[in-house]
Amino acid sequence: MKRWLGMSLFFSFLLSLSAFSNDEIAIVKHTEGTVTLKRNTTITPLKQRDQLLKNDIVITGEKSSVGVIFHDGSVLSLGEKSHLVIEEFTFKPLEKQFKFDLYMNKGTALFESGKIGTLAPEAFEFKIPEGTVGIRGTKFIVEVK
Amino acid sequence: MKTLHLVFITLFFIFFGGCASTQVILLEGSKESSAVVVKTQAGEQVINVPRGQTKISSAKETPSAPKVLTQEDVQKQFGALIAKAPKPPVSFLLYFKSGGTVLTEESEKLFTLIEQSIKERTPCDVNIIGHADRAGSTHYNITLSLNRAKSVHTWFSKQSLDIRAITVESYGEEDPIIPTKDGVSEPKNRRVEILIR
C-alpha cells in the first residue's frame, strides 16, 4: 500500500514536471540594462536563458533591451521603456491549434513572425492601446502547406 | 540548407513617441509579399511594402495612409533595435537511406553548418524531429523515425555544444514533405528536422 502511494506520488511528480516544461513558451536570448519580469504577483529581474510563460509581463527600463525567441520561432526584441504582456500563446502544429496575442501599451518592439505567422496568420494579434496589428498571409503559406 | 518549416514573413516595429502617436513599420523580411494590417475602431490600413509606415493617433481614427521611409530613416530611428534582435531560428533537414538510421552522404556534410548555427545562437534550444516515409507499417515508422531522431541526438551529445535543452520527437509517417500513398518509399520524407532556436 505504502509502496503504491509512493509510486503514484512519483508519477504525479513526473507529470507535473512535464506539464511545467510544456508551459514554457519562449527563451530569453539576451538582456541589457534593467529588464524585469512580472509573473502573477512576483517581480524578478529577467536574465539570459530564462523561460517565459503565458501571462508574463516583460518590462524594460531606460537604456535597456531584451531579445526573446518564442517556441514557434517568432522573434521579439524590445527597446527601452517598454511594457509588454504575453496574453496568449498556443502552438500545437500537429493538432492545428494556434493562438498568439501580445499587448504592448508602451515602448518599442521589433517582431518577426515564425511558424504561427505562416501556418495561421489570423491567430496572431499584436495589440496596442489604439487597436491591433495583424499579419496577412502570403503566397508562401500555400507552398508550405 | 533548407528552411522549409520556418518562414519569416513579417517584420515590424511599433513605436510610441512622446505625443502619444504610435507608428508601425513593416521591414524587409526574408520573404516577398508580407504585410501587416493595422486596425482601430475607425478602420484599417494595410502596409505591404518594405519600410512602409503608418501612424495611429487614437483608437477613434483610421491609421494614416502608408508612407515609405528611407533606409537611412529606419536605421537612424531603429538601427540599434534591429542590430540587437536575436538571430531567427534556423532549421536543417537531414535525409536518410531507406529503412534505417544511415544518413545520406550530402546530409553528413551538414553537421559543420549545424554546429556553427548553434554557436551563433547560444543560448539556444534544439528540437530533433524524426520522420519516415510510408514504406512499412505505421507502427514500424513511428519506431524508425524515433530511432533516426535518436541517432542524430547521439551526435549532439558527443559534441561539447552549449545547448539549454534538446527535445527529441518523432512524427512517424504523419508529416510528409511530399504526401504519398501508403507503402510508397519517398527519399524526401525519410528525414530528421533539426530546429535551432
Query: Which residue type does A52 have?
Result: L
Which residue in B99, B92, B86 sits closest to B145, CA to CA? Answer: B99
B165 and B119 assigned to the same domain: yes
Q: Are B34 and B26 in contact (CB under 8 A)?
A: yes
B52 and B113 assigned to the same domain: no
A127 touches B at CB < 8 Å: no
Summary mean pLDDT of chain B: 85
- Residue B155 lies inside a defined structural domain of this protein: yes
B149 and B184 assigned to the same domain: yes
- What residues contact residue A106 under an 8 Å CB cut-off, 6+ apart? A81, A82, A83, B16
Taking residue B19's Cβ as centre, other Cβ atoms within 10 Å add up to 6
- Residue B2 lies inside a defined structural domain of this protein: no
B70 and B99 assigned to the same domain: no
B49 touches A at CB < 8 Å: no
Place of cell 535525409: B95
Nearest chain A residue to B36, by CA: A135
**Domain residue spans of chain A:** 25-144
Which stretches of chain B score pLDDT less than 70? 1-20, 29-33
Tens-digit pLDDT profile for residues B73-82: 988 888 888 8
- Distance between start and end Cα atoms, chain B: 16
Residue where a domain terminates, one of B46, B67, B84:
B84
B136 and B62 assigned to the same domain: no
Tens-digit pLDDT profile for residues A22-59: 689 999 999 999 999 999 999 999 999 999 999 999 99
Residue span of the structural domain in which B38 resides:
12-84
Chain B residues in contact with A73 by the CB 8 A cut-off are 6, 8, 88-89, 195, 197
B157 and B104 assigned to the same domain: yes
Tens-digit pLDDT profile for residues A104-119: 988 999 988 888 888 8
Taking residue A31's Cβ as centre, other Cβ atoms within 10 Å add up to 22
Give the residue from A76, A102, A110 with the most B CB atoms within 10 Å of its CB, the best one to mutate: A110
Residue where a domain terminates, one of B64, B84, B104:
B84
* pLDDT, greater one: A139 or A122: A122
A83 touches B at CB < 8 Å: no
B145 and B73 assigned to the same domain: no
- Residue B1 lies inside a defined structural domain of this protein: no
Q: Which value, to the nearest 10 degrees, does the dihedral of the CA atoms of residues A108, A113, A114, A119 take?
A: 150
Taking residue B60's Cβ as centre, other Cβ atoms within 10 Å add up to 10
Question: Structural domain tally of chain B?
Answer: 2
ipTM of the modeled complex: 0.77
Give the pLDDT score at A19: 37
B111 and B183 assigned to the same domain: yes
Residue where a domain terminates, one of B84, B112, B143:
B84
Check which CATH number belongs to the domain holding B153 and give it. 3.30.1330.60
In whole angstroms, give the CA distance from residue B38 to residue A127: 10
